[in-house]
Amino acid sequence: MHLDRPPGRGRGGVGEGVLTVAARQADGLAAPGLAADPALLLGDAGLSRHEGALVDGGVTLTSVAREFGTPAYVYNADVIRRQFRELDEALAGVPHRICFAVKANSNLGVLRVLRDLGAGADIVSEGEMARALAAGFPGDRIVFSGVGKREDELRAAIGAGIGHVNVESMAELELLAHLAAGATAPVPVGIRVNPDVTAETHPYISTGKRGIKFGIPLDQVRPAAAVIRAHPGLELVALAMHIGSQLTDTQPFAEGAARLVDLVHAVRADGTTTLREFDVGGGLGIRYHEEIAISPRDFAAALVPLVEPTGLTLYLEPGRFLVGACGVLLTRVLFRKHSGGKEFVIVDAGMNDLERPSRYQAYHAIIPVQQRPGVPFVADVVGPVCETGDFFALDRDLAPVAPGDLVAVLCAGAYGFVMASNYNTRPLPPEVIIDGGRAWLSRPRQALASLYSSERVTSEER
């Protein structure tokens, strides 16, 4: 995939593909005369149509917009439950723990749904740990990953008694050994291995290849395990990997896991007796467009035969798979405009609210909340932010929409709100959860004053 092409044109962003007949089949994207099959994307998202209106978990998105305004993130709790159970059931034959990657969506209401399902949490910062604890995850169900943990973050993790810390370098291991000297019980450690496998995805989120910053290289794993064995304050409980995100093929998972299995044998032969967990990371892709996602059943079939003979508990760290499809970004069309031979649909959400299209040229389906008669057309869907890169879709086939209409940007539950910013001094959008046929506000729209009220105008001001 090439990053040097004009953004959004051609193949290769995360979840993006060439516009094909199949791609146009999503609701509202279908050109006349093509067999439209809205069922796939709508079904994934827990959406349906009733008299032309989009219904999300029994609630019309029009009523959600009326109550909470736009732009707004809306999450369907039953979709999260469906995704979790599908994965959990596929792995029912082996001891396993699904640790939700909090970075994908750290909303407390979403975290609570996952905690109630029995999930653990995978975190990469003290902030995510605080959120996981606030949502009620027990410390020992939390895994701390990340290539650049600070000393105070590691101290806090030890203090919270978290499940294990995945170390990503020999230097981090030394620091952890130093901190563990003062701990009351041995600190459980995982070694995140860089298994040197190529995972086909956007290069920004491919993380298991030699020469990128993540993980401990294969040849340093046994020395790292030796350091841990020699230190009474540390206990090696896990070997881990995370090879990339939005993966649609089981092959790299199996390849990476096979290398981890070899290492399990090697460190055991060297004298390690404390291993409990085999952590294959996250990365399960979802359907944004025309991708065929890995089914949990195929995932289990690829991994279980490798992991089961080790006797270790299979750990997973999925983020996108659990929450990607559950979310829509609800936004309103402000204007339509024709300029330079092109048609533009200008909406009230911007790249600050959902960054994925502009950052990765990622494809997100965009559909009208209330269908209206008219002719489908081709347009760029853009936001109000002062950058040409502020777009949600380029040259997209769209169902008829007019100023004032609501549109839903699909698959926005993962890496949506969590990557939002205040750029252009725009307040963060609200987060609404639909559960049990009712929409409730988990996080209100950020108040304008809070954007600047903690700043001082001059050094003299108190």
Please tell me which residue in 99, 326, 386, 411 is annotated as part of the active site.
386
Q: Is 249 exposed, middle or buried (0-12, 13-18, 19+ CB in 10 A)?
A: middle
CB of residue 360 vs ligand LLP: minimum separation in angstroms? 6
CA distance 191 to 178: 17
Which CB, 14 or 72, lies closer to ligand LLP?
14
Restricting to residues 16-75, name those near ligand LLP by CB under 6 A. Answer: none
We find the least distance from the C-beta atom of residue 322 to ligand LLP, in angstroms, to be 8
Asked whether position 318 contacts ligand LLP by CB under 6 A, the answer is yes
- Tokens coding 95: 């001891």
What's the CA gap between 285 and 248, in Å, rounded? 5
The identity of residue 243, as a single letter, is: I
Instruction: Give the binding range for ligand LLP (CB under 6 A) out of 55-63, 70-78, 282-290, 437-445.
Output: 282-290
284 binds ligand LLP (CB under 6 A): yes
Q: By CB under 6 A, is residue 300 in contact with ligand LLP? A: no
Full strand arrangement of the beta sheet holding 53-56: 47-50, 53-56, 59-60
Give the DSSP per-residue string, 357-398. HHHH-----EEESB--SS--EEEEEE-SSSSTT-EEEEEEEE
Q: Work out whether 256 is an interface residue with ligand LLP (CB under 6 A).
A: no
Q: Which is nearer to ligand LLP, 135 or 240 (CB)?
A: 240
The rounded distance, in Å, linking the Cα atoms of 457 and 122 is: 39
Q: What amino acid is encoded at 368 in this protein?
A: P
The span from the CA of 203 to the CA of 207, in Å, is 8
C-alpha span between 458 and 221 (Å, rounded): 52
Residue reference for tokens 């299209």: 357
Part in contact with ligand LLP (CB under 6 A); list of ranges 4-12, 265-273, 280-288, 438-446: 280-288
Q: Is there binding between residue 160 and ligand LLP (CB under 6 A)?
A: no
Q: Which is nearer to ligand LLP, 54 or 101 (CB)?
A: 101
* Residue 106 interacting with ligand LLP (CB under 6 A): no
Q: Considering only the stretches 259-267, 295-303, 313-321, 448-456, report the one whose residues sit in contact with ligand LLP under the rule CB under 6 A.
A: 313-321
Closer by beta carbon to ligand LLP, 81 or else 320: 320
Q: Scan for tokens 């950020």, then name that residue.
A: 446
319 binds ligand LLP, rule: CB under 6 A: yes
Cis peptide before 71 (omega within 30 of 0): yes
Structure tokens at 306: 């490798």
Number of residues counted as binding ligand LLP (CB under 6 A)? 23
Residue ranges of E strands in 248-305 = 277-279
Interface of this chain with ligand LLP, residues 355 to 414, rule: CB under 6 A: 356, 360, 414
Residue 176 C-beta: closest distance to ligand LLP, Å: 17
Tokens of 57: 């978990």
Element (H, E) at 225: helix 221-230
Region from 101-109, 111-119, 222-230, 403-411 binding ligand LLP, contact rule CB under 6 A: 101-109
φ/ψ of residue 292, rounded to 5: -105, 110
Measure Cα distances from 314 to 109, 248, 284 in Å. 26, 20, 15
Please, what's the largest Cα pairwise distance for the chain?
72
Of 288, 321, 391, 417, the one binding ligand LLP by CB under 6 A: 321
CA–chain centroid gap for 71, Å, is 20
State whether the Cα torsion 360-363-364-368 is positive or negative: positive
Residue numbers 205-234 binding ligand LLP by CB under 6 A: 205
Which is nearer to ligand LLP, 166 or 331 (by Cβ)? 166
Closest distance to ligand LLP from the beta carbon of 147 (Å): 9
Query: Residue 13 Cβ, how far from ligand LLP at the closest point, in Å?
Result: 10
**Contacting residue, 320, 332, 364, 396, with ligand LLP by CB under 6 A:** 320
Task: State the helix-helix crossing angle for 151-159 and 170-180, rounded to 10 degrees.
Answer: 50
Smallest distance from the beta carbon of 115 to ligand LLP, in angstroms? 17
Residue 57 or 283 having the CB closest to ligand LLP = 283
415 contributes a contact to ligand LLP by CB under 6 A: yes
Is residue 282 at the binding interface for ligand LLP, with CB under 6 A as the rule? Answer: yes
Which ranges in 271-324 belong to alpha helices (H)?
A: 296-307, 320-323
Shortest gap between Cβ of 208 and ligand LLP (angstroms)?
10
Examine residue 172 and tell whether it contacts ligand LLP (CB under 6 A): no
With respect to ligand LLP, which residue has the nearer C-beta, 24 or 356? Answer: 356
Pairing of strands 120-123, 96-101: parallel
**386 belongs to the catalytic site:** yes
14 makes contact with ligand LLP (CB under 6 A): yes
CB of 283 to ligand LLP, least distance (A): 4
Chain residues that interact with ligand LLP, rule: CB under 6 A: 14, 101, 103-104, 122, 145, 205, 242, 245-246, 281-284, 317-321, 356, 360, 414-415
Residues taking part in catalysis = 386
